[in-house]
Amino acid sequence: MGRKFLNRRPLILLLFLLFTLSVLAACNTAVRDESVFDATAAIADCPQASSGTEQLIDAAQGICFLYPAEYDASQGSEDAFGLYVQSPLNTQAPSASINFEAANGRSLDDLTRQRLADYAFPDTQPQSIMLDGEPAVMLDNLPGQDSNRRVFTIHNDTVIDLMVARIGNDYGVVGEQAEALYEMMTSSLQFIPQTAGIPRQAGPECPDPVANSTIFTNEIAGYCLLLPADYKILEISAEAADNEMVFYVDSLQDVNHPRLSVKVTDAGSSSLEAITAAHETEIETAVPGYDVQWSFGFMLDGEPANQFDQVPGQDLSKEVLMLHNGRLYMFTFTPDDPAAGVAYEEMQTLYAMVMDSFSLFWQ
């Protein structure tokens, strides 16, 4: 009995300590929950997309804005991404890019002096503007591969640097489109709380169906795309590291309509260039003396892709290779042969629909 009485005091102290820790933990949890709530509420307050526009939210960098619906957003990196029509190499449309870097204590005046020194262009005069109520600087008619306009500001000790290319009277209609792109992005840009770990979001994750089309979603392989409404789907393999789907009209033996296969395999540490070179060698080995035709500069939802035309086999095929998160995506369109007549024309329609609509799940 005596020992129980003597040990009660440290027991009471222990219980009090545990109670105090639980209260502190609850308070900390409340603070974390509040910050998440604030970030979510801020994202909900971002400008909403309407007809002809899409919404981009980069919570990790603390910005959101609207952009024209015909644009695609590259996934880029944590510190940069771009907006383009069909491909970054497309010179028939304007493009834009946004880069982020640590300000490291620099002021906006410091940054302006550095940018002017980088260009050393005497006709460039900085213009003061506002981005979501905060001061920014615009530099116009900057030299480069294409004339561009650059806007930068400092927010939360982060430099936000926006550039729009092919802007100005010399570009005619493209220059007018660049002005509209610039105006939409800068007038809708909004600062939100920076929240690490939230993937960048751009536009709808999957495309909206258009007339006479259907959407196919492959959760395991991480993509979705549009197909003509009359296409059927055959699942060859459904594993994440070895996933293959075949799309056809009547049957796999049907030669009156085009076919498509999308195969997703583990690429390991291989680069797109290495995979392309190996595939070229594979074709040359299978058909000695064959003139292999492949080209680069294609994009699939922001990822670079290479394309092989008229690949020999049972039928001539068009093949597109793309890498994403260590996986190789291989698209095979058949027939890629003008002699196939209507089937070839339909293949080109199928190819355009898939290339334009293919969307990766941003992770």
DSSP 114-156: HHHHHH--TT---EEEEETTEEEEEEEEE-SSS-EEEEEEEET
Q: What's the average model confidence in pLDDT over 184-213?
A: 88
Domain ranges of the chain: 46-202, 213-360
Residue 12: what pLDDT? 38
Q: In this structure, which topology does domain 46-202 adopt according to CATH?
A: Protein Transport Mog1p; Chain A (3.40.1000)
For 299-325, what is each residue's pLDDT tens digit? 888 788 999 999 999 999 999 999 988
For 213-360, which CATH superfamily applies?
Mog1/PsbP, alpha/beta/alpha sandwich (3.40.1000.10)
Q: How far apart are CA 200 and CA 362, in angstroms?
A: 7
Closest-CA residue to 165 (of 75, 93, 64, 87)? 93
Point out the least confidently predicted range of 135-139, 324-328, 329-333, 357-361: 357-361
Point out the least confidently predicted range of 39-43, 89-93, 207-211, 312-316: 39-43
SS3 per-residue string spanning 111-123: HHHHHHHHHCCCC
> Over pLDDT 70: what percentage of the chain?
87
Q: pLDDT-derived band of residue 255, with 50, 70 and 90 as boundaries?
A: confident
The predicted model scores a pTM of 0.64
Say yes or no to pLDDT of 131 above 50: yes
> One-letter amino acid identity for 233?
I
For 3-59, what is each residue's pLDDT tens digit? 222 233 333 343 343 444 343 344 443 333 334 445 566 677 899 998 889 999 999
Which residue has tokens 């890629």? 336
CB 265 within 8 A of CB 291: no
Residue 40: what pLDDT? 63
